[in-house]
Amino acid sequence: MSHTVVIEPHYLGSLEYFVALINARELIFEVQDHFVKQTFRNRCYIHSPAGKHVLIVPVSYDNRTRMKDVKIDYAQSWLRDHWGAFYSSYGKAPFFDFFADEFRSAWDSRPTFLLDLNLQMMTLCLRLLQIDIPNKLTDDFRSSTEKGSLDLRNRILPKISFDQRDLYIPFPYIQNFGSNFVANLSIVDLLMCEGPGALSILRNSTVKT
């Protein structure tokens, strides 16, 4: 049975993250909590010619800054770096020519806030997956969620392997480089490699309960 899922907005979220999203009845994005560094809020992993590669959006914040107020630091060359890494990783992928311009436009829009970038990218990815799920942002912070909701806030973390969370089971697909499948990369890896077949892969990556 699907639940209302409460979760923080990730930057180009992982397959594990999108498994949680597509299986939700409703999405509530936590934006009132304090920003936490070294999380998926401002980073993702793609499959580069050299292997697993991290993309990090530089941000400006202090320990009291709420997620909704975190600003992107454009003084650094991250936009050029992210597009360059994206192109070198997926320029020859089967569905690059179909989707790349939309991702480029999202980056080029240069939103002020990290939240806006994350939501824009997530909305794009859900549309490419042909998934439409009701969603809203939190208007205040609550330490617990309503009964019947699945609270995934701060559960999907880079430093803890996905196999310790029981949300995602790797379902291999053909990737751009190497013969060994790299699990749980950013959703862009799956979209660029599988296109319309991406949603089926996510369904098959869902832990059955």
Mean pLDDT split into 10-residue runs, the chain, 209 residues: 90 98 97 96 97 97 96 97 98 98 98 98 98 96 89 96 96 94 98 98 93
Cα–Cα dist 58/140, whole Å: 25
* Residue 182 burial class via C-beta count within 10 angstroms: exposed 0-12, middle 13-18, buried 19 and up: middle
Cα–Cα dist 14/28, whole Å: 18
Quick check: pTM over 0.85? yes
